[in-house]
Amino acid sequence: TPESHGCFVMKKTIFIFLTLYCFLAIVIFAIYFFSKKYWLTHMFLISHGAENLKDSFPLNTTGHSQVTETSEVWVNKSAGEEFLGACPETPPNLLGPFQVELETVRTPEDVRKQVGSLLQVGGRYKPPDCISKQKVAVIIPFRNRHENLTHWLYYLHPFLQRQQLDYGVYVINQDGDGTFNRAKLMNIGYAEALKEDDYNCFLFSDVDLVPLDDRNLYRCFSNPRHLSVAIFGGVTALTKEQFLTFNGFSNTFWGWGGEDDDLYNRVMLRIKAISRPYAVIGRYKMIKHERDPHNDPNFNNVKKLQETTNTLDQDGLSSLNYTVIDITKNMLFTFITVDVHVPMGLTKK
């Protein structure tokens, strides 16, 4: 009948209208939801420094310059990190002081099982839930200290992860029996790490030093950072810009001694300030070992310290020469064996 046909048409019209209304409501809600999520994330990143590459936060530190130090902050986003915020200024899972026990016999396999589950090949790590404030290359000059290295890796990987660092560990192994050159190995570590990633902070650490407090942040600051306050030299953090400013370490300190004093001279000549954590935080435990027979004290290095002003520009990264013999990667570190071109007369004792 006409009446029933008219009723059917009206019902059909109402159904189409309601369908379109629901669809439009869903579209509007989706637009609102994602735009709100975007702007909340955008404002979060701004407030936490992700949009300001030189954003920094104050820390109470002391140094030779007696100035207030700040941590240098860079935040680099990669694919899949668009909605991650910057890691907090103070990592939330720090333990503070912790016990270091070096009597237990540890094998590399033991360490891989216990601390390697979160690592990527080559000793690489980045926090899964935030963007690290810096990308840190940890450089270890090395020769014949495998037991020390095993202890160091056991404690330092969890230590660095609690600090929410984006980092990689590079062990720079001097090949052969020639006189050891710790400083040149650190220059080589800097150069080789940059071939792998755009690191902006370099942490140079002796393999026999284990920190005792994870509030001692392994990151870079607006001045060169000496982290092992009770032990001369040992652990130093430098930005790429700082390292370039004083031409890196000297390449000519063969044998034990002098290279840390030379580094201090270089820093004070070009940057004129060094920062340190509080002494109670910058404590370390030294792993016992016998001195390498090819790393005896070199008294000629003392004389070289008087020449830093004149040799700084010619002796360092600008004159670095070496040959890579082998690069091996496992879950705990990248092991780079190099020929440091030991001068004639220093090849064997």
Q: Choosing from 55, 192, 259, 262, which is the catalytic residue?
A: 259
Q: Choosing from 162, 286, 292, 296, which is the catalytic residue?
A: 286
Known active-site residue 241: no
Known active-site residue 261: no
Tokens representing 57? Answer: 């936060």
For 161, left (φ over 0), alpha (ψ -120 to 50), or beta?
alpha
Known active-site residue 152: no
For 64, left (φ over 0), alpha (ψ -120 to 50), or beta?
alpha
* Dist. CA 23–CA 167, nearest whole Å: 47
Known active-site residue 296: no
Known active-site residue 208: yes
Q: Choosing from 55, 192, 206, 262, which is the catalytic residue?
A: 206
- Give Cα separations from 96 to 69, 127, 149, 241 (angstroms): 20, 19, 23, 30
Q: Choosing from 39, 42, 51, 289, which is the catalytic residue?
A: 289
Known active-site residue 341: no
Q: Residues 154, 219, 321, CA angle at the centre, nearest 5°? A: 85
Q: Choosing from 260, 261, 292, 307, which is the catalytic residue?
A: 260
Q: Choosing from 256, 261, 270, 296, which is the catalytic residue?
A: 256
Q: Residues 227, 282, 237, CA angle at the centre, nearest 5°? A: 15
DSSP SS3 for 201? strand
Query: Do the beta carbons of residue 177 and residue 252 sit within 8 Å?
Result: no
Known active-site residue 206: yes
Which distant-in-sequence residues (6+ apart) come within 8 Å of 36 by Cβ? none
Q: Choosing from 55, 72, 166, 208, which is the catalytic residue?
A: 208
Known active-site residue 286: yes
Residues with active-site annotation: 206, 208, 256, 259-260, 286, 289, 291
